[in-house]
Amino acid sequence: MLKEFTEVEKVVRALQGPQFDRENHGGLFDRGSADSYYGRPRDPHWYPAGSYNGDKITELTEAELQEYHAGYEHNEQFGGKKGYD
C-alpha cells in the first residue's frame, strides 16, 4: 500500500533541494517556523545575513514562498507555540 502524503509533506518533499535549509537562521523555512511559533500571522520574508541582520527580503519567488509556508506549516503541525505565562 502506498503512503498518501499530506499537503505539508508534499511541499517539504518538493523543497529538499539546496535552498531547503531548516538550520539557516534567518532563512525562509526558519522565518516561517518562527512566525508560527510566536503566533504571528504569515509574513513571507527572510534575512540573508541571519535573523534580523541586514535587509528583510520580502520580494520572493514562488519556490521561496513555498519554502516559507513549509516552515510555517511544519511548526503548525509538529512544533510548539511560545507560552506567554
Residues 12-67 pLDDT 10s? 655 554 445 556 788 999 999 999 999 999 999 999 888 998 899 999 999 999 99
Domain boundaries, the chain: 20-78
Residues in the chain: 85
Q: At what angle do helices 7-14 and 62-78 cross, to 10 degrees?
A: 130
Q: Report phi then psi at 81, rounded to 5.
A: -125, 145
Output the pLDDT for position 28.
Answer: 92
DSSP state, residue 27: S
Among candidate residues 13, 4, 16, 56, the one with its CA nearest the CA of residue 35: 56
Residue 9 clears pLDDT 70, i.e. is over it: no
Question: Confidence band (pLDDT; 50, 70, 90) for 6?
Answer: confident
